[in-house]
Structure 1
Amino acid sequence: MKIPQGHQSVMPYLMLNEAEGFGEFAKQVFDAEVNMTKLREDEKTIMHSELSIGTSTIMFCSATEQFTPQTANLFVYVQNADESYRKALDHGATSVMQLSDQDYGRTCGVLDPFGNTWWITSVR
């Protein structure tokens, strides 16, 4: 099986209101890199975009009448959960689970301004 470089066998594809803001949120909070963005004919809304966080790729686009908003729960490993939690809250997310120490690491949960829940974990 061939997979394009930078892709994985399974990748989330989010259809979002304010997709442009989602990419910026991911960059600010998780040091994501937006690898490509293709705009629709209106040159305002995103037809397709891809960003990477670490070695993982998230695809996303602007929701339309045909492709209504589809958000997700995303589990992400980070270097420092406390720092990512603070950054997420500073960029408009709300807490759904306070920072805590679990047997699998330091973890928390936030709801981003675009309707996605992020489960943020750093391994000790």
Structure 2
Amino acid sequence: MKLPNGHQAVMPYLMLNKANEFYAFTKAVFNAEETLRKLRDDGKTIMHSEIQIKGNTIMYCETTEDWKTQTANLFIYVEDADATFKKAIDAGAEVIMPLNNQDYGRTCGVKDPFGNTWWITATK
């Protein structure tokens, strides 16, 4: 099976309110890079967009009357959970689970302004 460049066999596809702002959040918190953006005929609404975080693709679009909001729980490994947690809060996320130490690493949970929950973990 040959996958398109930059794609994995399984990728989340999010349908978001304020999809234009989602990329700014992921760039600020996770250093995401936008790899594709297609707009609707109005020239401003995201029909389809893709970002990459550490080589992993997340696809997303703006909700419509036909395609309602569909968010996700996303688990992400980072180098520094404390620093990433702070970036997420500074970018408008709310705390779901405070920073704490678990047997699998330093971890926390935040909900971004678009309804997605990010489980942020740095391994020991």
TM tier, smaller: over 0.9
Q: Distance in 1 between matches of 2:104 and 2:5?
A: 30
Percent of residue pairs bearing the same amino acid type: 61
* Residues 77-115 of structure 1, C-alpha deviations (whole Å, 9 max, x = no match): 111110010000001000000001111111000000000
The corresponding residue for 1:60 is 60
Please tell me the residue identity of whatever aligns with 1:4: P
The corresponding residue for 2:43 is 43
Structure 1 spans left out of the alignment, 5+ residues: none
1:24 aligns with 2:24: yes
Q: Distance in 2 between matches of 1:108 and 1:55?
A: 22
How many pairs does the alignment contain?
A: 124
* Residues 3-49 of structure 1, C-alpha deviations (whole Å, 9 max, x = no match): 01110000000000000111110000000001110100011110000
1:71-90 correspondence runs (5 A): 71-90=71-90
Q: Secondary structure of the residue that 2:8 maps to in structure 1?
A: coil
Please tell me the residue identity of whatever aligns with 1:110: V
Q: Secondary structure of the residue that 1:110 maps to in structure 2?
A: strand
Q: Secondary structure of the residue that 1:20 maps to in structure 2?
A: helix
Structure 2 spans left out of the alignment, 5+ residues: none
Please tell me the residue identity of whatever aligns with 1:33: E
Q: Distance in 2 between matches of 1:52 and 1:87?
A: 18
Q: Normalized against structure 1, the TM-score is what?
A: 0.98
